[in-house]
Homo-oligomer: A and B are copies of this chain.
Amino acid sequence: MAKKQTTIQDIAKTLSITASTVSRALNDHPKIKKSTKDTVWAKAKELNYQPNTIASSLRKGKAKTVGMIVPRINRHFFSNIITGVESVLNPAGYNLIICQSEEKYDKEINNINTLIANRVSGLLISISLETKNFDHIRRAISNNIAVVMYDRITEELNVSKVENDDISGSYDLTKHLIDEGYKDMMWIGGSRNFNTYRNRFEGYEKALKEIGIDANKYPIFEGSISLEAAYEYFKEYLENNKLPEVVFSASDYMAMGAIMAIQEKGFKIPDDVAISGYSNEPFAALINPKLTTVEQFSKEMGRSTARILLDEMESNKDENIPIKTILRPKLIVRESTINKKKL
């Protein structure tokens, strides 16, 4: 065990050439003879040579590594983004260090510190629900790390961003609800301090305004975006209030919590109350009734984000102007919002 790994020096020695030639050969440098390249490659294979990325990174001052901060890895939306990111970054020779903030500001700061310590070339970040100050991200930038924000962004930072067009998504959805003949609505979602939920509310509001309704006259529940929170809220709500015609939930998980509370009370969906979600989590197509929702093409979001980052890492930073990409989500109509009484 613990046998020393072979280095380019070892290869050089056995071939009676110098390490620099070996290095160049392995990196396919144009000015190296094909024949020496071949012998070097052969010897490398023979000696089971594994390049030492660490040494190379130290020398180059940058690691071929990207850090990615994700609020939670176990949300399909985010894990698909990761997959999309990998599908671009891996072929380009980068690898990913994934960190979870778990929606905590402190964790996010820690994550950034370790990523800086690892001299990552790039950082992808979707901020936690707690994050209101962005100095940690500024620190990354000033350490010469290319930064791209995805999904949960802030306007306070002048970096490239990839967003979903939440306004259109929820506008389209709300319009569908209106077209189904529903008028008496209710909005539930995460805090509107957050771009995603603020925008989802805005789209909802806009569609209602078009038919002369002020969204703020309807009930609004802003809470933690979990099944449990919505379940508890609805259980209590149903004790004291009558049902709206339709519940617009800005999150599939919250929709699910509401559905469980509603069905537990013996109400039928969509007959007694219709409900829609957002994100198209896998369970949305599996529950009964199947949930109307909005597909966000998360894998594609990951790919776009990674492509932008790649560009910024590989060009000379100083002349990068931040770009903003907005992805258009797609309405997915399912049983939970079909109005059977519609004329």
Interface residues of A, Cβ cutoff 8 Å to B: 1-3, 5, 48, 50-55, 57-58, 63, 73-74, 76, 79-80, 82-83, 86, 90, 95-100, 110, 113-114, 116-119, 139, 142-144, 256, 260, 282-283, 286-288, 317-318
* Given A74-B80, A86-B100, 16 further pairs, Cβ under 8 A: A1-B144, A1-B317, A2-B318, A3-B142, A50-B113, A52-B119, A53-B118, A54-B63, A73-B79, A74-B79, A95-B97, A95-B99, A98-B98, A260-B286, A282-B283, A286-B287
**In the complex where A74-B80, A79-B73 touch, is A116 in contact with B58 (Cβ < 8 A)?**
no
Which residues of B lie under 8 Å from residue A287 when comparing CB positions? 283, 286-288
Which residues of B lie under 8 Å from residue A119 when comparing CB positions? 52-54
Contact across chains for A58 and B54 when beta carbons are under 8 A apart: yes
Q: In whole angstroms, what is the CA distance A119 to B99 when docked?
A: 19
Q: In whole angstroms, what is the CA distance A100 to B299 when docked?
A: 14
Query: How near does chain B come to A234, taking the closest CB pair, in angstroms?
Result: 15
Which residues of B lie under 8 Å from residue A142 when comparing CB positions? 1, 3
Which residues of B lie under 8 Å from residue A282 when comparing CB positions? 283
Q: In whole angstroms, what is the CA distance A194 to B260 when docked?
A: 37
Q: How many copies of this chain sit in the oligomeric assembly?
A: 2
Q: In whole angstroms, what is the CA distance A16 to B96 when docked?
A: 39
Which residues of B lie under 8 Å from residue A50 when comparing CB positions? 113, 116-117, 143
Out of B3, B90, B117, name the residue touching A53 (CB < 8 Å).
B117
Query: How near does chain B come to A137, taking the closest CB pair, in angstroms?
Result: 14
Contact across chains for A73 and B83 when beta carbons are under 8 A apart: yes
**In the complex where A144-B1, A282-B283, A318-B1 touch, is A97 in contact with B97 (Cβ < 8 A)?**
yes
Which residues of B lie under 8 Å from residue A113 when comparing CB positions? 50
Which residues of B lie under 8 Å from residue A86 when comparing CB positions? 100
Q: In whole angstroms, what is the CA distance A74 to B298 when docked?
A: 12
Whose C-beta in chain B lies nearest to the C-beta of A80? B74
**Which of A3, A76, A114, A144 is packed against the most chain B CB atoms within 10 Å?**
A114
6 contacts between A and B (CB under 8 A): A1-B144, A5-B143, A52-B117, A79-B79, A256-B286, A283-B283
Q: In whole angstroms, what is the CA distance A288 to B206 when docked?
A: 35
Query: How near does chain B come to A23, taking the closest CB pair, in angstroms?
Result: 15
Q: In whole angstroms, what is the CA distance A79 to B76 when docked?
A: 10
Which residues of B lie under 8 Å from residue A144 when comparing CB positions? 1-3, 5
Which residues of B lie under 8 Å from residue A82 when comparing CB positions? 73
Which residues of B lie under 8 Å from residue A55 when comparing CB positions? 58
